[in-house]
Amino acid sequence: MFLVILEFQGHNFENLRNSKILEFCARRRFGVSRCHFIKPPPRPKPRETVDIPDLETITYGERMHHVPGLAKPVFPHWEPDHKNPRFYKAPPAQQMPLFKDTPCFMFNQRTNVLEGVRQAAWLTKTKVMPSFPSQLLSRTENLEEQIPDVDERVQNAIKHARFWDTTENRPKKEKYCNTLLLNLLHLCGMLQPSHSAIGRRMFTEDYSLAVTWKRGEDLFQVRGRNGLLHSSMDPLPAVCGKDEVSDTADHTLETFYPISPTIDLQKANVYKENLNCTGFRGNSPYPHAHTLYFLESADVNCKLRPEQFRAKMAMFTFGNALSRAYQLYGTEPQQLLERPVTVQAVGTNGRIFQFLVFQLNTTDLTGDDGVKNQMWLDEDVELYDFAKVRPLIKKKEVRVPAGLSGYKPEVFRKFLALYLHGAE
């Protein structure tokens, strides 16, 4: 602390209240000789207890209070006569009934794999085709006749999510991303009078998935909660025929040696073997997974990069298909399924969309030879360029006007094509 004493001769304090000298003193700041926040001292290490045989330790346990010079007593562990979660202490992992020597590598909704889609393709024994299935786009050729003013309706759905559905200056990403997805699904649902199979579907949110498979000598599991599920009473038809499925046997899976395929996966020794759960009971009227919808901003505490986000879509889409195949054909590995299981996925961050179609052709995932699964991936498709609340002005020039700009109508047609798949 510093003390500054100013003496003014011939003047009192009231006369000098507005003087330049007092203004200078009011603006003056003094530096601090030490930092405001210091690192706390390290905790002292506990003393090592020395146990000398044939020597009785004198403690202050009988006196019921601390006595200097006497040793601290060691009391036996107290266990209540009833179950109390406050005092529960988990046993060591080796003593748990589900402990196994062989580890299991788990993929959940927060897993951030290093190699992204390449690693997901190896784990699922899948051939990746970077394109959108052209045979699905034929269902949206006469879209203007099915939905009048479809482009205007889609643009209004975007404006509702980005501009209108908020009382703030601009909505948060977590809000407008979910609002845009629901608006587009509501717009697609208007085709139910002309496509009666849409009425045989149901939306499910926050369901739990768990499925186990073996790849090489390692055991893997996909488990956890993933986005919004659109399930159906009827299974999706296969995207390609048997000839194209047979040709996948000549495909060579891409490796990323020397990186291990199990990198960034959770390794656990306490797990259930042959775990297979679709998230629904056996008598569910909507047993077939149709489309999974993922939001990048669904989990605020876990933000994935686009490549890892697409890997998450691929793994959970594969998990839903594999769990359904186990229910239909059993858990024994089959080289070629009688009828492939097809599941779709759509991911978005409110502006950029990811479209994925997965076709499970085989459940024999141990080796790299034989028939492979197929995945069509159309990545980083922009629905619009900008949605600005205020115009972007640089050097007195309007670079981006306020409002919606750069709308691309072909993106919604892909979104609708996946929605109408299987609704003929």
Is 22 within the bounds of a domain? no
Give the chain's domain count: 1
In percent, the amount of the chain with pLDDT more than 90 equals 68
Is 83 within the bounds of a domain? no
Is 49 within the bounds of a domain? no
Is 85 within the bounds of a domain? no
Q: CB-based burial of residue 317 (10 Å sphere; 0-12 exposed, 13-18 middle, 19+ buried)?
A: buried
Is 350 within the bounds of a domain? yes
Question: Highest mean pLDDT range out of 249-263, 280-294, 308-322, 325-339?
Answer: 308-322
Is 36 within the bounds of a domain? no
pLDDT per position as a tens digit, 220-236: 999 998 889 999 999 99
Q: Residues with Cβ < 8 Å from 121, sequence gap 6 or more?
A: 127, 128, 253, 254, 314, 375
Is 61 within the bounds of a domain? no
Assign 31 a pLDDT band (cuts: 50, 70, 90).
low
State the pairing for strand pair 276-277/266-270. Answer: unpaired
Q: State pTM to two decimals.
A: 0.82
Q: 413 and 133 in contact (C-beta within 8 Å)?
A: no
What is the average per-residue pLDDT within 243-252? 94
The pair of structure tokens assigned to 300 is 């605020």
Q: Residues with Cβ < 8 Å from 299, sequence gap 6 or more?
A: 109, 110
What is the average per-residue pLDDT within 169-189? 93
Q: 422 and 197 in contact (C-beta within 8 Å)?
A: yes
Is 87 within the bounds of a domain? no
Question: Highest mean pLDDT range out of 30-34, 138-142, 328-332?
Answer: 328-332
Instruction: Determine the structural domain holding residue 296 and report its residue range.
Output: 99-420
